[in-house]
Amino acid sequence: MNRKELAEQLVERALKSGAQDAEAFVAESASVEIEIRDAAVETVEYKNLAGYGVRMLIDGKMGFASSNNVDLDKATDLVARLVKYTSYHSPDEHNVFPAPGNGADIDHSLDHYDEAVLSTPVEKKIQVALAIESLTRKADKRIVHIPYLQYGDEAVGYTIVSSRGVSGEARRTDVYGAAMAAAMKSGADGNPDPTTIQTGVGIDVVADFEKLNPQEVARKASTYALRMLGAVDGSTAEMAGVFPPETGYSFIKLVADMVAADLVQKKKSLYAGRMNELVASDMVTIIDDGRMKGGLGSSAVDAEGVPSTTTPIIDKGRLVGFLHDSYTAHRGNAVSTGNAKRSSFDTRPYIAPTNFYLAAGNISREALMGSVAEGLYVTEVSGLHASVDRVTGHFSIPGKGILIKNGELTRPVGNITISGNVFDFFKGIDSVADDLTWEKREDTIGTPTFKVGAIKISGK
C-alpha cells in the first residue's frame, strides 16, 4: 500500500485501540554520500529508510511510538501497547492536533523534487565529486591539500493523516557538494610553509542534480582559504564590522532559533516578553517564508500537515512574530505558522524555520564596502549559538577577518575574539546590501552583506 493508505490504516487502528485522537506520519527517504580523498573514492554510503510514527491523545495525554516495520498486524500490536503506555503520561491541555488548514491553501508546486536524484547512476555522482576535488586543487598552486570533500543527495517524501481530518503530503530533494581547501604560502626555500596554513570551506546546495555547480564549490573553498594567507594576530579595537553572507548566516540563524515559540514560552529565548518592541535597527526586516517559490526550505505542508505560510518576524526593527507548531499555537492563543519539522519518521515534531532571511537592502555590496573608512570584513565566526547568554544577550566568539581601509580590503587577521550584545549588534546594523544569498546548512538561511557600525574586537 502507498504512504497515504498506510497512514489511514494506522489512524483507524489507533482509534479502535482506544485513542481519542490519532495522527500517523509515514515517511521514506533515499540518500547517497560519497567521500573523496586524494583524487579517489574513499567511501560510498547508501541509505534507504522507511517507517512511521504514531501520536495519540487520551484525556490530554500524548503518546508517541514509531517503527520501520510496516506490517499492519505488527502496527496493531504497537498502537495497542501505546494506548497502555500513554496512560502513564501527564495530561497537558495544550496537547492538540491541528485541524485541516490554517487559512492557507496547500500548494504542491512549493515542493521541489527532482526525479533525476534517484535515477542518476552513482558513477555519474562520483564523477561530480571528483570534479569538485580536481577544480578545487587546481584553483591555485597555493592550494596544497583537500582535507575534506563530499557529495551527497537525498530524496524524501512524507504523508500525514489524522483523525481530525488532516491529510497532507510533501516531498523534496536536496543535492550538495562540500569541499575544504588548505592553502599555504611558500617559505624562503620555495616549499610550502606549514606555519602559514589557512583553510576555507565551500558548500553548494540545490534541489536539482543538474544544477549542482562543482565550479562554485571549488571557487568558494579556494577563495576562502587563499584570502586569509598571511594572516597576522589581530589587535584589540572597536570598528565597523562588515558581515558577508557566509558569516552573517550565524547571526540570522541565531534569530531563527530564538524566535521558536517553544523557547519563547519557556522563557529560554532572548526574545521572550519582547513582542512589538524594537529589537533591531530600522534597516532590519526578517521573514520566514515557507511559500517561497523555489526555496530550499519550502514545502506544501509541514510535519503536522499544516499548510506552509509566510511569517513576518522583525519588521523594520520591531519584533512582530514567532514560529509556531500546533502545541505552541494553542498555548499562546495563536495560529500554527506551519513550522513543525521532523528529522525522521521516528522523531516527534519540533519547531524549525523554512526559508528564513534578512531582507535585502537597496545598495550594492561595493557601495557598502566603499562607505567603510576603517573596519573589519569578518570572514569566519564560530560557536555563536553556544556562547550567547540567553538572559543578557552577551556573546564572545572567536573569529577571523580582513581589515578594511578606505573601502579596500587590506590585511587578513586571525586569533581575534568578537564580543558584544545581540540586541546592540542588530540595533547597530546601519547598512544592508542588495546581494541576498542563501546558505543551507542546518537550516535554509538567507542574508545579504550587512554592516554593523561598531563591533568590539579583542586580540593581541
State how far Cα 299 lies from the chain centre: 14
Q: Is the pLDDT of residue 8 over 90?
A: yes
- Pairwise CA distance, residues 448 & 177, whole Å: 22
- The residue assigned the cell 540518500 is 31
Position 186 scores a pLDDT of 83
Those residues whose C-beta lies under 8 Å from the C-beta of residue 426, and which sit 6 or more positions away, are 251, 255, 279, 280, 281, 284, 317
Select from 30, 72, 73, 24 the least CA-distant residue to 48.
Answer: 30
- Pairwise CA distance, residues 372 & 366, whole Å: 10
Q: Is the pLDDT of residue 377 over 80?
A: yes
Q: Which amino acid is at 27?
A: A
Q: What is the mean pLDDT of residues 335-359?
A: 97
For the chain, the domains span 3-226, 232-458
pLDDT band for position 36 (cuts 50, 70, 90): very high
pLDDT in tens, 193-230: 888 899 999 999 999 999 999 999 999 999 999 999 99
- Pairwise CA distance, residues 22 & 24, whole Å: 7
- Pairwise CA distance, residues 445 & 117, whole Å: 23
Q: Can you give the chain as a three-state secondary structure string?
A: CCHHHHHHHHHHHHHHCCCCEEEEEEEEEEEEEEEEECCEEEEEEEEEEEEEEEEEEECCEEEEEEECCCCHHHHHHHHHHHHHHHCCCCCCCCCCCCCCCCCCCCCHHHCCCCCHHHHCCHHHHHHHHHHHHHHHHHCCCCEEEEEEEEEEEEEEEEEEEECCCCEEEEEEEEEEEEEEEEECCECCCCCECHHHCEEEEEEEEECCHHHCCHHHHHHHHHHHHHCCCCCEECCCEEEEEEECHHHHHHHHHHHHHHCEHHHHHCCCCCCCCCCCCECCCCCCCEEEECCCCCCCCCCCECCCCCECCEEEEEECCEECCCECCHHHHHHCCCCCCCCEECCCCCCCCEECCCEEEECCCCECHHHHHHCCCEEEEEEEECCHHHHCCCCCCEEEEEEEEEEEECCEEEEEEEEEEEEEEHHHHHHCEEEEECCCEEEECCCEEEECCEEEEEEEEECC
Handedness of CA 329, 335, 341, 346 (dihedral sign): positive
Cβ atoms of 231 and 198 closer than 8 Å: yes
> Domain 3-226 classified CATH 3.30.2290.10?
yes
pLDDT in tens, 384-440: 999 999 888 999 999 999 999 999 999 999 999 999 999 999 999 999 999 999 999
pLDDT in tens, 115-168: 999 999 999 999 999 999 999 999 999 999 999 999 999 999 999 999 999 999
Q: How far apart are the first and last CA of the chain?
A: 66
Least confident of 179-193, 337-351, 385-399, 434-448: 179-193
Cβ atoms of 432 and 252 closer than 8 Å: no
pLDDT band for position 103 (cuts 50, 70, 90): low
Burial of 421 from C-beta contacts in 10 A (0-12 / 13-18 / 19+): middle
Position 255 scores a pLDDT of 97
Task: Dig out the grid coordinates for 60 from the structure.
Answer: 490530554
Position 188 scores a pLDDT of 74
- Pairwise CA distance, residues 207 & 285, whole Å: 26
pLDDT band for position 268 (cuts 50, 70, 90): very high
Task: Dig out the grid coordinates for 415 from the structure.
Answer: 586569533
Q: Is the pLDDT of residue 19 over 70?
A: yes
Task: Dig out the grid coordinates for 21 from the structure.
Answer: 485522537
Position 97 scores a pLDDT of 96
Position 433 scores a pLDDT of 98
Q: Rounded to whole angstroms, what are the CA distances from 213 to 20, 220, 439?
A: 50, 11, 14
Burial of 392 from C-beta contacts in 10 A (0-12 / 13-18 / 19+): exposed
pLDDT in tens, 279-320: 999 999 999 999 999 999 999 999 999 999 999 999 999 999
- Pairwise CA distance, residues 352 & 97, whole Å: 18
- Pairwise CA distance, residues 85 & 65, whole Å: 10
Position 442 scores a pLDDT of 86
Task: Dig out the grid coordinates for 90 from the structure.
Answer: 501527564
Cβ atoms of 57 and 11 closer than 8 Å: no
pLDDT in tens, 444-457: 999 999 999 999 99
Proportion of the chain above pLDDT 70, given as a percent = 99
- Pairwise CA distance, residues 209 & 121, whole Å: 11
pLDDT band for position 192 (cuts 50, 70, 90): confident
pLDDT in tens, 40-98: 999 999 999 999 999 999 999 999 999 999 899 999 999 999 999 999 999 999 999 99
pLDDT band for position 378 (cuts 50, 70, 90): very high
As a whole number, the mean pLDDT across the chain is 95
